Structures are given as C-alpha cells and as structure tokens.
Amino acid sequence: MLTFYIYASYVFHFFANIFLNIRVLKKKEHPVRFKEKLGLYEVKNNNPTVWFHASSLGEIKSVVPLISYFSKNKNYKILITTVTLSSSEYCHQIFKHTENITHQFAPLDTPMIVKKFLDHWKPQISIFVESEIWPNLILQTKKISKLILLNARLSNKSFSRWKLVKKVAQKLLNQFNSITVQSKEVKSFIEFFGIKNVNFLGNLKFISPDNISNNNSFVFKKAAENSWVAMSIHKGEETFIIETVKKIKKEQIESQCIWIPRHLNKIKELTDIIKANNLTYQLKSKEALPLASKDFYIVDSFGDAGEVFKKINLVFLGGSIIPHGGQNPLEPAREGCYLFHGPNIYNFTEIFEFLTKNNVSKLVTSETLLSQELISNFKNIKNNDKLKAIMKEYSQKILLDHINYLNSFIK
C-alpha cells in the first residue's frame, strides 16, 4: 500500500502545477504563493531551523504559544508551514513583527517536491501537529532531522481505517522520535501499533490565548440586548442558524446573531443565503459596530472572536449538526461562555466532557430547541469567572509541560 502511494505520488508530480492553478482559479490557493507548494521559494535560509508543520487554522492556533516561546531564542529560525489560506493569513497577523519566524505553504507530498523543500530549509527539528501524516514528507524528513508528532489526533473512524493498513501505520508512526497525544484514548490507539514513545501531556487546544498578543485594537460592543454567537458554522448548517433566528423573531424578541465564519472567502455565499431568507445583515469590515436593526452581524476578520466572547456569553458551535465531529469549543469557554452544540462532537469528546462537568455546555438537536434555550437564557446566563480561572490554570500547566518536553529536543 505504501509503495503504491509513493509511485502514485511520482505520477501526480507531473500534474501538480495544473492542479494548483485550477485551485487558484477557484480561489482556493494564493495567486502568487501557491508556488511554495511546488518547492519554489523566494525566502533564503542560512540559519539553523526549527520547523512546525500544521495543516489548518485550528492546528496552528494550538501551537502558537509554543512557537511564541521558542521564537525568543534568536539562535535559530522558526519555520511554520500550513496548507490553507486562512491559516496563512492568521500566521501573518500573529507573527508579522517577529523577525525570526517565516511562514510558507507546505509542499505537496511528492518525492521531488519534498526533496526541494528539505534541501532548501534543512530543518534540525521537525514538529508535525495533530494528524499530519504525509508519507513522503515523513520518510524523507526523518533522514535529515529529529521528527516529533505533537498533540496527535486519531478519531475512532480513522483508527478503524489505520487498522486495515497496520504495517503502513507502524512504519510511518515509527519514524517519529517521540509522539504526544490529545487524549489517553488516542495514546491507546497509537500504542496498538506497537509504538512505544507515546506521551500524554494534556491537549494543546486547552492552551490559553492570553499567552498571545496580536495587538488587536477592535473593541466590540453589542447592539441588541439579546445577542448570541454562531461560530464555525459548516456548509449545510447555515439553514439551522437561519431557522433559529426566524423562530426567535416569531416570539417578538429583539435579538441579533453574531456570526463568526470559518472562511472569509465564503462571505458572499453566506450573505446570499441570508438575503434569500429575507433577513438583514451587516459586515464588520463595512461598519465596525453592530446595529440593533440587523438580524446578523458578520465578523469578517481574523482575530476578533475573543473580543466578541468577552461581551456575549451564549455561543452555538457548528460542525456538530452535520457529521463533522464538532469544532474546538475552548476559545469561547476560556471567556466563560455558555455553549450549545449538536450531537456530532466526536473529535472533541474529552473536551466537551470537561465542559459538561463544569455545567457550561448543552446539546441541542433542532432549531426549535436552540431557539428555546437561547430565549430562556438571554437574561439568565453570565460569563462564568470560576470556569475562566480553572481553564487558565489548566492551560498554563499544559503549556509548561510541553515547553519542557520540547526543550529536550531543541537545544
């Protein structure tokens, strides 16, 4: 199976440029920087390099405090690679004033492109985040660098698939010098394949954003007394939010939904859906503060969610109505918000168990139930200061444990 993948990636290499150009036309790739995915770089590198590789926005957010800490050592360069446009924009916003941090798009997983990447950057330490299991990248990186899998994630569904190709899983996972995992369940999954160097130091997604400063000047002020947040809503869940808003309006309650979208390049699709349902909206980029007369206030910018959560304490988390497995609930939880979610939260089971134990999350399975819960809680729920303190203390412990762990490799 692994041999077949490697041969197939050789073939794909000859179509990689066409593949990326098609994605550029669909606005799924950067119109200029897509060349980085082909191993073509404008940035030179002559420094010892520590490389953090994460795929998406959520994954890079989980290691930003670690990157910020290690960037204080000017003896080496920090290289960050990600795959998505949103993660690239986030890295630029967070690290634009940090001289020894460079962001690049991750190389496509073909043997030739990976070799170009490694020949150029020559990382001494390579840290892959969560579920970044790319065979060519892993096998070639191990030849020149210490290799760590950090905060590894493996769902029940993925574990079942990996068991079908057990020898492949063993070979790839054995390339890592050390592995840390998100939960004890994931630890048992990885140890099933005979891997010995597996550690559970706590889930990095718990790390508090208080450790990060993004110099954000946005100050949010809600316009409607009965405001709530719809966060990380996936395709297919928009109707769920729209119908919830309509049900609240039928009760003659003045309310506003603050919508924090997952991808800024999907804003037009979102506004078209809102208009098609005869509802009104405004964009943060057009008018900084919400107007009470609008049904939706769309936060079409990065890095502003935390400011919203400080002022609005009722949050619905998407990715949980459709079978996606949920979204990370920790950012609003750190601000003491009360959370609602659908039934599909299997990617964050341990985190939701922690929140449920502290009585700050609740399952809703329909628009009717969500609207009823929101209406009954508009005036009763206040931000939970006790939860904020618990979250901060726990997150600081996890951060310190991971710093000490990585210090044993980064010397």
pLDDT in tens, 319-369: 999 999 999 898 899 888 999 999 999 888 888 988 988 888 999 999 999
- State which amino acid sits at residue 376: S
pLDDT at position 253 over 60: yes
pLDDT higher than 70, residue 215: no
The pLDDT, as a whole number, for residue 208 is: 54
- Average pLDDT score, the chain: 91
Over pLDDT 90: what percentage of the chain? 71
CA dihedral 207, 208, 210, 215 (to 10 degrees): 70
DSSP code at position 147: E
Q: One-letter amino acid identity for 53?
A: H
Residues 6+ away with beta carbon under 8 Å from 217: none
pLDDT in tens, 166-182: 999 999 999 999 999 99
* 67 or 208, greater pLDDT: 67
pLDDT at residue 33 greater than cutoff 60: yes
Q: Would you say 13 and 22 are in contact if contact means Cβ atoms under 8 Å apart? A: no
Which pLDDT value is given to residue 389? 86
State both tokens at 41: 């770089």
**What are the tens digits of pLDDT across the range 42-76?**
888 888 999 999 988 889 989 999 999 999 998 99
Measured distance CA(70)–CA(51) in Å, rounded: 11
Q: What is the DSSP letter of 116?
A: H
Residue 216 has a pLDDT of 54
pLDDT per position as a tens digit, 113-161: 999 999 999 999 999 999 889 999 999 999 999 999 999 999 888 999 9
Read off the pLDDT of each residue in 21-43 and give the average, rounded to a whole number.
Answer: 95
In CATH, the architecture of 2-200 is 3-Layer(aba) Sandwich (3.40)
Q: How far apart are CA 333 and CA 313, in angstroms?
A: 9
pLDDT on residue 213: 41
Q: Residue 132: its pLDDT value, please?
A: 83
Identify the CATH number of the domain defined by range 226-391.
Answer: 3.40.50.2000
On whether the CB atoms of residues 232 and 262 are closer than 8 A, the answer is yes
Q: Is the confidence at residue 2, as pLDDT, over 50?
A: yes
Query: Tens digits of per-residue pLDDT, 269-283?
Result: 999 999 999 999 999
Domain boundaries, the chain: 2-200, 226-391
- Threshold 0.85, pTM exceeds: no
